[in-house]
Structure formats: structure tokens, C-alpha cells
Amino acid sequence: MADGLSENITLLETAYTLAIGDDFCIDGDPDVIDQLLADTRSPNTKRAYEKDLRDFFLFISGRLPDQNLVLEFLHLEQRHAVAVVLKYKAHLVNKKKLAEATVNRRLSAIKSLTAMGRKLGVCNYTLEDIKGEKVESYRDTTGIPPTDFAKVLALVNRKTLKGKRDYAILRLLWDNALRRSEVCNLNVGDFNAQSSTLSILGKGKGTQKVVVDLSRKTVEALADWLIASKRASKLKQPLFTVIAYNGNGQRLTGEAIRRLVDGLCKASGITKQMSPHRIRHSSITTVLDKNNGNYRATQRFSRHAKPDTVMKYDDNRQKLQKQMTDILADLV
């Protein structure tokens, strides 16, 4: 007992003699890009940051970014850094003629880099004075009517394994207006047939899952797919997988779902360019039609963070501008 007490006292004395922070040392200067990517959850955002920062540093220096080059940029004075980024922005807008959203995404990557630099104590300026381009989001939120989507569903051969999978995916896209990333990230264990629910990783929710209720048709479609594919017990495995010989069993990608939607819509005679997100648009617009423009109910269904986004859908649904134009035309 005495020996144990003496040992504890010795450890405490040793700890008190250490310089403050000795146990938390970080060797050398930080790699700010590595830290930025490590601090980012979304794989898509990581890829975009890497691509956009490579483009920025190639433009301003003719070199790919490395630790020293990034620190050199982050050590600039405020006026110098702003001038460099404004020159890059002018290049994107006037020379490359990129879309407003693309310009803003690239500026966002640079701003995120400087923000991380400030957190790590290697950058003393901000780029908040550099404003992005104005973007009209969701300019066209129109989709297709339910009768057209019914034709798409009718093309799926539900007697085959692939058809069972594709039908379940299409039901989720329409009945619950899921984003394709939300569909791709699903695991078998996220589906609860008994309670008719699905746990999804919603946009901007990190690792926090949101539970959504499913229709009877969707529950039956998912159960049919899981039974046929013999995946019902593989709770931690992907819900939707590749069936083709090449890559069989791997998690289905967003691009594969896009191709599925695009191909079936064209085959059904739909001339509008379709995608999983267009189906989401179609579902939300149809919900607004059926609930007489109830924004609150629609926002709960669509899981949009802002009611303003639902209002944009409603404006396009009702064609309010066309109605006002016709009223004015009839007056003169």
C-alpha cells in the first residue's frame, strides 16, 4: 500500500516538473490542406476542395499545392491575399467564363482554407470582403406529372433481381423524394419493415440519421428486393448493390442511379432531361398540388432547411408570373 502511494506521488511530481504543453506537442508546421480535408465529412466536398485548391495554386504560382506553398499563401498580408484571390476570381469569370455556382464553389474552397489557417494560427487575414456571384437557386423546379412517372415504373421488369432493386430505388426517389446520395448511403439495417420506416443520412446532418416513414408500396418493394437478393440479414451491408458481374456486391453509386433514371425516362418517352433530383422536384411539386400549397407539410416531406425553398417550388407550380402577365395583357 505504501509502495503504491509513493509511486503515485513520484508520478505527480514528475508531471508538475514538465513544461506546460509538453505532452501535446505537434512537430513542425501544420499541413493546412490535410487538416481541412480531415475536418470535412462529405467525400464529395473533399474531392471538390482538392480539385479547386489545385486549380487555384496552379493559377497563382504555376505549381501544385504543397505544405510550403500553402503556408506562403497563408502568410501574406491582407491586401496582398485579397488582390491575389480577386485576380483568380476575374480569371474564372472573364477568361474561363465559368457558371456563377462554380465560381462560388472555388472561392468557398479558398475561404475554407484560410479559415482553417486561422484556426491553426498560421493565417492572420480573412477573405470575407470577396463576395461570390449571385446565383438564382432552383430556377427550374418543375418535373414530370405522376402519370409520366407511372410509365417509368411500368418499364421495370420486377420478375428479375435487377428489376426488384431498380423498382425499390425508384419508389424511394418518388414516394419519399430522397436525394441520390441518401439512397446510396443506405444500409440494410436502416430499413425497418415492421415499423415501415427508413433511417437516412440527410443532407448536412453529418452522422445523425433522420427517420422517415415509408408507404406500403415502398415497404413491399424493399422487402421484395432484400428477400430476392438474400441480403435481409446483412444489416451493416449496403442496401443497394451492383448486380452485374463486374463489381458484383459493391455499393451502388450515385452515377449508377443517375444512369438508371435517365435511361428509363428516355425509354418511356419523356423528353425532359431527367435525373434523380428531377424526380425529387416532381414529387415535391406534386405534394404541393395535392395539399393545396401547404408549405409546412411540404417542408416536412422534402426536409428542406428553409421554407423559402419550398416557396420557389410553389411559384413554379402555380406559374404566378404568367398569371400576372396575362392579367396585365388583358387590361390594354
Among all residues, which ones are annotated catalytic? 179, 205, 277, 280, 304, 313
User: Which helix H or strand E contains 209, and what residues bound it?
Assistant: strand 209-213
297 CB-contact burial (10 Å; exposed 0-12 / middle 13-18 / buried 19+) = middle
Q: Say how many C-beta atoms besides its own lie within 10 A of residue 68's C-beta.
A: 11
Q: Give the span between the Cα atoms of 171 and 218, in whole angstroms.
A: 6
β-strand partners of 251: 241
Our CA dihedral for 8, 10, 13, 19, rounded to 10 degrees, sits at -100
Q: Give the span between the Cα atoms of 176 and 179, in whole angstroms.
A: 9
* Contact criterion met (CB below 8 Å) for 317 and 288: yes
Identify the residue whose cell numbers are 508531471: 15
Measuring CA to CA, which residue among 36, 95, 100, 32 is closest to residue 69?
Answer: 32
User: Which helix H or strand E contains 171, and what residues bound it?
Assistant: helix 161-175
Q: Which three cell numbers stand for residue 189?
A: 439495417
107 CB-contact burial (10 Å; exposed 0-12 / middle 13-18 / buried 19+) = buried
Q: Give the span between the Cα atoms of 141 and 281, in whole angstroms.
A: 6
Measuring CA to CA, which residue among 191, 194, 199 is closest to residue 233?
Answer: 191
Q: Which three cell numbers stand for residue 151?
A: 410509365
* Contact criterion met (CB below 8 Å) for 45 and 98: no
